[in-house]
Amino acid sequence: MGTAYETDIVAWANEQAALLRSGDMSAIDIEHIAEEIEDVGKSEQRELSSRMSVLLAHLLKWQFQPSHRGISWEATIHTQRNNIARRIRKTPSLKASLSDTDWWADAWDDAVEAASKETGVPYTEFPEVCPWAIDEVMRQNFFPGDDEPSSSRMHG
């Protein structure tokens, strides 16, 4: 084998792809290929969790700092909702994460930490667990603590 996995992962990946395409199965690095394939799934899950944490943090900021609400927060909320929905559409198996309590707890903890840092509101002031159902979180017109219609909020 030419390049070691630990030395240059990009060169290694290119070599492994060429070996697979040529059918030279005896020379491939099966163990590391298996690890990389598993990592692809983990990477998708991390991206979903990161996007959900950003969304939840902005929903918390929206609820806890109504005087700071603005178009940029609203845009971030809409963008994250759209990106989460797109990720799930393109990778349907990710939807299972949305009903995993451990996954939610991690996403929520990250969101509360971010919201606390960005608002100055103490971590302990936020709910211990997410108070909203996934359907609410993902609904385009849901903004916690906001009774104003979205059309007047966007243009007001």
In a domain, 29, yes or no: no
- Is 119 part of a structural domain of the chain? yes
- For residue 94, what are the domain limits? 45-155
Q: Which candidate, 108, 101, 134, places its Cα nearest to that of 116?
A: 108
DSSP 31: H
pLDDT at residue 150, rounded to an integer: 45
In a domain, 19, yes or no: no
User: Does residue 55 sit in helix, strand or coil?
Assistant: helix
Q: Could you tell me if residue 71 is inside a domain? A: yes
CB 44 within 8 A of CB 96: no
In a domain, 92, yes or no: yes
126 within some domain: yes
Confirm whether 4 is domain-assigned. Answer: no
Total number of domains in the chain: 1
Average pLDDT of adjacent 10-residue blocks, the chain of 156 residues: 82 93 92 89 92 98 95 97 96 94 96 97 96 96 73 38
Return the pLDDT at 151: 38
The pLDDT score that the predictor gives to residue 131 is 96
Q: What is the pLDDT of residue 145?
A: 85
Is residue 3 a part of any domain in this protein? Answer: no
Taking each helix axis from N to C end, the angle separating 9-22 and 30-64, rounded to the nearest 10 degrees, works out to: 130
